[in-house]
Chain A
Amino acid sequence: MIKDTVKQSLQDLFPTPEPVVEEAAAPAAEGEEEQDDKKKKAAKKAEPRVNGVLERDYAAHGYDLDVQLDPGELEAAVTILDQNDFFIESITGVDWIKEKQLEVVYDFSRYDFDRCRVVIRTRTPRSEPKVPTITEIYSGASWHERETHDFFGIKFEGHPHLIPLLLPEDADFHPLLKDFKP
C-alpha cells in the first residue's frame, strides 16, 4: 500500500512521533478511526492543530492523508511526494482571519489504482504571508501559485514569474481575503 509508505516517510519529517498522537484540529475533524476519548476531548477545545500527519476517512472527506507542517518543511515533503510519483492537483489558500493566519493547501494524487490523496497544509502569518515556492519540483505549481498570490496576496518566495494571472495586470487587491471590500 502506497499510503503506508508515504505516511511513514512523511512522518520522518517530524522530530518526534508525539504530534501525531495529539489530535486537535482547527477545522475540527470528527469521526476518525484512530480517535479515542482523550483525543475527542482535546478536539473539542479550539486549540490550533499540531503539525503532523493524520489519516482521514476517504468516504467522509475525500482524501487519505492530511499533513500540516511549517513552511520550512514544505519542500522536503513535496520532494517525498515527487519521488513517489504523485501529480499535483491544485494549490489554494484559506483565510483564517480570526486566527490572523493564512493557510496554503496543496493537493496531490496519483495516477494509480492504489488510491492515495494527500493534502499538505501550511500556515503563515496574515501580516506578512510568505511560503517557499515548489515550482522547481513541480513545474505545474507555477500557475497555481500565481493564482493564490492573486487571490490572497501570499508571496511564494523564489517563484520565477510572480505576476497576476487571472486578475488584471495592475490589480492591487486580493479578493478572497475575508476583509476584502469590492
Chain B
Amino acid sequence: MSGPIHIQPGETFTLNVGPQHPATHGVLRVKMEMDGEYIVKAETVLGYIHRMHELMGENRTYPQVLPNLSRLDYLGAMGYTHGHVLAVERAAGIEVPERAEYVRAIMVELNRVASHLFWFGAFVMDLGGFTPLMYAIEDREYILDMLEAVTGSRLTYCYFRFGGLYNDVDDDFVNAARAFIPRMRKSLKKYDALVTGNVILQQRLRDIGPISANMCRRYGATGPVARGSGIDFDVRKNEPYSVYPEFDFDVPVYHECDSLARYKVRMDEMEQSLRIIEQGLDKLPEGPIMPKKKPKIIKPPAGDYYQAVETARGSFGIRIVSDGGKNAYRFKLRSPTYSNMHLFDEACEGMMIMDALALMGSLDLVIPEIDR
C-alpha cells in the first residue's frame, strides 16, 4: 500500500466542491486547496441545511418530536426513530411487548437493507458505473412498498410509538417479507458477479482513502467506516438493545482500511440483515403491540439518559436531560456521519481529487443527518 503523497505548498489554488455537487449527495461544501490534481488541504463547510432539531426537541413534547427524528436521515429513518423511542422508554420506564420488539427489529433491518442498496447504487454511480443503480433501486422499491403498506410512508416513517407500534403487521407483509429474502439473496449474488468481482471497481477502490483504526478512534468514527478499518464494533453486539441478543448474526469486519473494505462491509451487512429478518419472521410471537399500562402524558423523572443504537451509518446516540416536565430540558442528537465526515479533512490530504471523491462516497454521507 503506497502512502499519501506529501506536497510542499507552493503554487496552489482553492477549489470549492459543492454546495451543489452530485458527489456530495446533498448540500455540503468542501473547500480544497489544490496543487494541480492533488489536495494540499481540505476544509469541510457545514450548515447549509441546519434545522436545529435539538431546539425543536426542547420546545415540543416527546411524542411531538418523534416525526423530527425521521427527517434526519431520509434513507435509514427507521433506525433513528428507534433510537428516540428506546431513549424515552428507558427514561420513563415503559415496557414494550415482545411482538412489538420483533416487528421493530424486522423493520429496522429492512430499512438498513434499503439504505445500503441505495448507497451501493449511488456509490458505484459516483465511480462511473450507472447500471447497478437501476438494479439496486428495483430491489429498494420492493422494500419501500412493503414498508409503505404498513407504516403509511415511504421514507420518513413515524411508525414506532413509546411502548410499541402504530399498527400491527398483517399476513401480506409477512408473506412479502418472506418472499423478499430469497429474492434479495439472488440479487446479492448478481451484484457480486456484476460489481464486486469487477476488476475495474477493485482497482479503483483498493488502497484508496486509507483510514487507520487509530484515526477512527480519534474522530469517533463508527459503523461500516470503523468496521472497514478492522474495528469489531457494532452497537447491536457491543451494547445489545431491544431483541438483538436473540438473533444469530455476524458483524463483518475487514482489515484493509481502504474504500474497498468499507464497500465489502456494507455488502456483507445486507446478508446479515437478511438473516435477522428471517429469524425475526420465524420467531415473531403473537400478542399485543402496545403495553396495557402506559402513561398518557410522558414525563420522565429528572435525570440524564443516553441511548445508542446502530443505524445504517453507525452509532446514533440520543441524550435526554429531563427536569421532570413534558418537554426535554436538553435533547442532544449524536449523529454517526458527523464523526465519520469529520475525518475526511485529514484523510484526503495528499490524495488526488478523483480518489478523494471515491473516499467521500465510501463514507456513505447523508447531509441532513450531519447538519441536523
Contact = CB atoms under 8 A, between A and B. Distances in A.
Interface stretch (A1-9, A12-20, A104-112, A124-132): A104-112
Contacts of B319: 90, 92, 105, 107
Interface in A138-182: 138-140, 142-143, 151, 164-168, 175-176
A139 B218 contact: yes
B232 A111 contact: yes
Interface in B219-247: 219-221, 226, 231-233, 237-239
A109 B330 CA distance: 21
Nearest to B240: A115
A76 interface: no
B238 A112 contact: yes
Contact of B305 (A62, A105, A167): A62
B308 interface: yes
B55 A87 contact: no
B220 A140 contact: yes
B306 A165 contact: no
Contact of A94 (B47, B218, B302, B321): B321
A107 B303 contact: no
Interface string B333-367: 01000110011001000000000000000000000
Main secondary structure of the interface of B (DSSP, over half): mixed
A115 to B, nearest CB: 6
Main secondary structure of the interface of A (DSSP, over half): loop
B190 interface: no
A140 B339 contact: yes
Interface string A30-53: 100000000000000000000000
Contacts of A90: 220, 317, 319, 332, 334
A62 B54 CA distance: 19
Chain B CB count within 10 A is highest, among A29, A87, A112, A167, for A87
Nearest to B51: A166
Interface in A81-131: 85-90, 92, 94-95, 105, 107, 109, 111-113, 115, 117, 119
A62 B217 contact: no
Interface residues of B, number: 47
Contacts of A28: 302-303
B70 interface: no
B265 to A, nearest CB: 15
Contacts of A176: 54-55, 58, 330
A111 B306 contact: no
Contacts of A61: 90, 303-306
A167 B47 contact: yes
B219 A167 contact: no
B52 interface: yes
Contact of B334 (A27, A107, A164): A107
A100 B301 CA distance: 22
A88 B218 contact: yes
A111 B216 CA distance: 10
B50 interface: yes
Chain A CB count within 10 A is highest, among B58, B304, B322, for B304
B315 interface: yes
Contacts of A94: 321, 329-330
B46 interface: yes
B307 interface: yes
B50 A166 contact: yes
22 contacts: A27-B302, A28-B303, A30-B303, A59-B90, A85-B217, A87-B217, A87-B218, A88-B220, A89-B308, A89-B317, A90-B317, A90-B319, A94-B330, A107-B334, A111-B226, A112-B238, A115-B238, A138-B218, A139-B218, A139-B219, A140-B343, A168-B47
Given A139-B219, A140-B343, A175-B55, 20 more contacts: A27-B303, A27-B322, A29-B303, A62-B90, A62-B307, A86-B217, A87-B221, A88-B218, A89-B308, A89-B315, A89-B317, A92-B332, A107-B317, A140-B220, A140-B339, A142-B342, A143-B342, A166-B50, A168-B47, A175-B52
